[in-house]
Amino acid sequence: MGLLSRGPQHGYELKRAHDDRLPAGKPLAYGQVYATLARLERDGLVVSVGADKAGGPERTSYGLTDVGRRSLHEWLESVEPPAPFLGGVMFAKVVVALLAADRDTAERYLMSQREAHMARMRQLTQHKQQATSAAEAASADYTIAHLDADLRWMQQTMARVDALNEEITG
């Protein structure tokens, strides 16, 4: 849906845009693209806006509905529950924020996510200080170290927001 935020596209274009813009993710299968579009259309989030046949098989283009656009922004404004290994979804939100909104929204999304991660880190740090066993402290240390890795990634990505914006929307 984020990829549709800048205008209608058909399935092939969506697959190509997805694979280009989220290079770290798994390439999307065509079947998955059309199944997802069918599900989004059923739920009223996208609508087919016409077909073109330019020298090949007929291809249907899909665009976001108002409901779809609202739903996309709601997703964008929600932070992920702070837990390790969120790299993929956090990066997807940055890319979609740049596509559907602007660099400030992307930066503020990263800051919201940082606030959520830091709140969890504070809880774990407090928990660790009150830990009654070494195992409890070691377990808190493990999660703290992984959240810290995410936070480092967020900070580096904040420093790269302008370059990403250029690449993705330029």
Which residues are near another protein by CB under 8 A?
77, 79, 105, 107-109, 111-115, 117-118, 121-122, 124-125, 129, 144-145, 147-148, 151-152, 155, 158-159
For the bound state, the minimum distance from the C-beta of residue 140 to another protein, rounded and expressed in Å, comes to 11
Residue number with CB closer to another protein (49 or 158): 158
For the bound state, the minimum distance from the C-beta of residue 47 to another protein, rounded and expressed in Å, comes to 28
For the bound state, the minimum distance from the C-beta of residue 40 to another protein, rounded and expressed in Å, comes to 24
Per-residue HEC secondary structure of the chain comes to CCHHHHCCEEHHHHHHHHHHHCCCCCCCCHHHHHHHHHHHHHCCCEEEEEEECCCCCCEEEEEECHHHHHHHHHHHHCCCCCCCCCHHHHHHHHHHHHHHCCHHHHHHHHHHHHHHHHHHHHHHHHHHHCCCCHHHHHHHHHHHHHHHHHHHHHHHHHHCHHHHHHHHHC
Residue number with CB closer to another protein (28 or 144): 144
For the bound state, the minimum distance from the C-beta of residue 115 to another protein, rounded and expressed in Å, comes to 5
Residue number with CB closer to another protein (40 or 147): 147
Residue number with CB closer to another protein (9 or 143): 143
